[in-house]
Each structure stands twice: as structure tokens, then as C-alpha cells.
Amino acid sequence: MQNPADHLKRIILMTILALGGVSTAAGWALMESLGLSSPVLCLVFGLSLVFHPVMFLITWRRMLPLRVVDICCLLFASSICSACMALRLYSPTYGASIDLQPLYLWIPVIYVLAFTLTGHQSGLRLSLRIFALFVAVSLPYLVLHFDQPYGNFTIQMHLVSAVLIASLYFFSSYQHRLQLAQLTVDEMARLANTDDLTKLANRRWISETIKSELVRFGRYGHTFSIILIDIDHFKAVNDRYGHAVGDQTLVALAARATEALRDVDMLGRWGGEEFIVLMLETGFEQALDKARALCAKVAATPLVGEHTVSISCGVTSVRAGDSADSLLQRADQALYAAKHGGRNRAEGSQAS
């Protein structure tokens, strides 16, 4: 399945490439109409008119990863700028039509894109390489012709570029640390609400959710039911096969119960060998039918190896005046009735 963020980035990149191709064609036509064109500018425009449609097609057909396309675009822009700089500084005959001032204004954009399109560290490495390229191209001119018209302007461009790269790295580093901090907070919240063994919601999270649903029921009348699940004779499983098999049984039960439930149902580990299901917008009879089906599904085939286990379920639905304690107490009483009635069954305490 395609990542929505990658799809959006692909659309944006295709739009930029299309606009770049159109603007290049329009600029070339305008230069020709004004008589300002030259062989060098024609070559630059021609290369751009080839590059943009080719990269558009590659992006559209997904022939290369987006990261590779991004780097190709940056390298193309850097190559064009460095070539134009070299021609203007060292070959006045061919570079006479190239104005360095507008060209130098575009160079900082390359550094911004390098950090925007790539990662934190890779943006710095790529920017420094591009910066080294521009310095290498202009260095002989600065050493031999420092007093020439473009000497001071070129030095200022390099100084501004260095400050820009440092600033971009600082802000990128800050953003990177902020993202890591957010991931840490999210991970801590997830761990606080997740059972380590089964990776289901833990008792704390289920309890908070039940309280929230009780508020919704009181305000809007949204009914819900709960199923309290207990593995029959689980102690015998641990005693006979060991706690490792017992843990595997808990994990396997969590997986099988998840398969049998709806996406909107919340399955959690209540503690020990007990599980709980919170079924939103579900009445008592529907929940009882689901619990009976769940008992049959668990007992039908072994959970771990050749060892078959069964479960007992207690079912209840919310009613007016309920608290979390009263609701869970009814579910526990129904579970006790299922155990007392022979296990491998579901019993309910119907709301009145």
C-alpha cells in the first residue's frame, strides 16, 4: 500500500517539474523575442527542457525512488549554476550574456532544498559538497582577479552561503531533536497503555476508556457492552507445560480473539489470564452472541501446539446509573456463572 505522504510528495514534485518546464520554455521564448539570447543560454534552456520532462516521466512512472529524484534535481541545478559561474568568470566571450547577480540569488535556494528534500545529516553533507563545488569553481578567479568586478560579490555570496548552511543545520538539528522527543513521548504513552506480553491495551487504558464511554452514554445515550474473558484451567496449563507455554497461550488467544472481533471493538488484557472486550454501539444480545461465537472459535482448534484450551465469558451492557465498578461487577458475576455452569460458555447479566 502506498504511503500517503510519499504520494503527496510525488504530486508536488511532478507539479514543480511541470511548472519548471513551462517557465523554462516561456523564458527562452521571451529571451529570443527580445534578442537577448546566446548560444550558452540556448544550451542551458535546452538542457532544462530535456531534464524537466524526463524527470517528470521518471517520477510519474515511479522508475526511481523519490530520494534519488530529489538528489538528481539538486545536482542538475548545482551543475547548471556552477557551469554558468565558470563561463562568466573565465570565459567572457561565451559567458557575456550570463548575469551573475541573479544566478547568485538562486544558489541559496539550492541549500534550502538540500535540507528540505533530504534528511538531517544528509542535508548537511550534500550542502557542504555543493558549497565546495562553487568555491572550487570560483577560487582561481578570486586568487588571481580579486579586484575584478565580480570578486567581492562572489566572496559575499560564499559567506552568505556558509552562514545559511550553518543556520539551516541549526534549525534542522532542532527540528530533528524535537521529532525524537515527540517520538519518545509517544512511545512512553504507548508503553504506559499497553500490556507487555500480548501488546493489547492494558487494564489502565481499558478502565479509562470505559469511564469515557460511560460519560458518552450519560450525555448522548451511546450504548456499549463488555465481555469479560477467562481461560479455563489456565493454572493447569502452567503447571503441566510451563510458564513459557502459558505465555504463548495468552498471546495466541489475544490474536485469535482479535480475528473474531470488529475493528471498532477494543480487546485488552485485564490481568493474569483474564481479557476484556469493549464493544461500542452494541446491545446485550449482540454481545452475548459474539461471546458465544468467541468461545466456539477458541475451543475449535489448539492455540499452541496440540494443546486445546477453552474460555468462559461474562457479558453485560451499560444501563442508567452505572459506574465502572457496577458494570464490571455484573460482568464478573456473569463470568462466575459461566464457570459454575461448566465452563467453555458465555453467560450474561442483562441490563434492565
CATH number at residue 273: 3.30.70.270
**Residue 286 domain-assigned (yes or no):** yes
Picking from 189, 222, 254, the residue at the C-terminal end of a domain is 189
Q: Would you call 187 a catalytic residue per the annotation? A: no
**Residue 197 domain-assigned (yes or no):** no
CB-CB contact of 132 with 91 (8 Å) = no
Percent of the chain with pLDDT over 70: 95
Do residues 31 and 143 share a domain? yes
Secondary structure tally for the chain: helices H, strands E = 12, 5
Name the residue among 327, 329, 320, 326 with its Cα closest to residue 352. 320
Confidence of residue 2 (pLDDT cuts 50, 70, 90): low
Give the residue-averaged pLDDT of 79-91: 89
Confidence of residue 310 (pLDDT cuts 50, 70, 90): very high
* Pairing verdict, β 266-271 and 224-231: unpaired
Alpha helices in 61-150 (DSSP H): 66-90, 92-95, 100-117, 120-144
Q: pLDDT tens, 9-64?
A: 888 888 888 988 898 888 888 888 888 777 888 888 899 999 999 999 998 988 88
Do residues 52 and 179 share a domain? yes
Do residues 183 and 225 share a domain? no
pLDDT value at residue 1 = 46
CB-CB contact of 189 with 237 (8 Å) = no
- Distance between CA atoms of residues 281 and 221, nearest Å: 10
Do residues 145 and 241 share a domain? no
Do residues 238 and 90 share a domain? no
Do residues 175 and 230 share a domain? no
Picking from 134, 155, 189, the residue at the C-terminal end of a domain is 189
Residue 208's domain spans which residues?
203-349
The residue from 273, 281, 285, 347 that is catalytic is 273
**Residue 26 domain-assigned (yes or no):** yes
Do residues 53 and 162 share a domain? yes
**Residue 194 domain-assigned (yes or no):** no
Dihedral over Cα of 89, 94, 96, 97: its sign: negative
Do residues 184 and 215 share a domain? no
Q: 231 has which bridge partners? A: 311
Residue 116 has pLDDT above 60, yes or no: yes
Do residues 262 and 173 share a domain? no
Q: pLDDT tens, 213-266?
A: 999 999 999 999 999 999 999 999 999 989 999 999 999 999 999 999 998 999
**Residue 198 domain-assigned (yes or no):** no
Do residues 137 and 212 share a domain? no
Domain count for the chain, please give it. Answer: 2
Picking from 189, 223, 240, the residue at the C-terminal end of a domain is 189
**Phi, psi angle pair for 229, to nearest 5°:** -115, 135
**Residue 77 domain-assigned (yes or no):** yes
Do residues 108 and 35 share a domain? yes
Do residues 168 and 210 share a domain? no
Mean pLDDT of the chain: 88
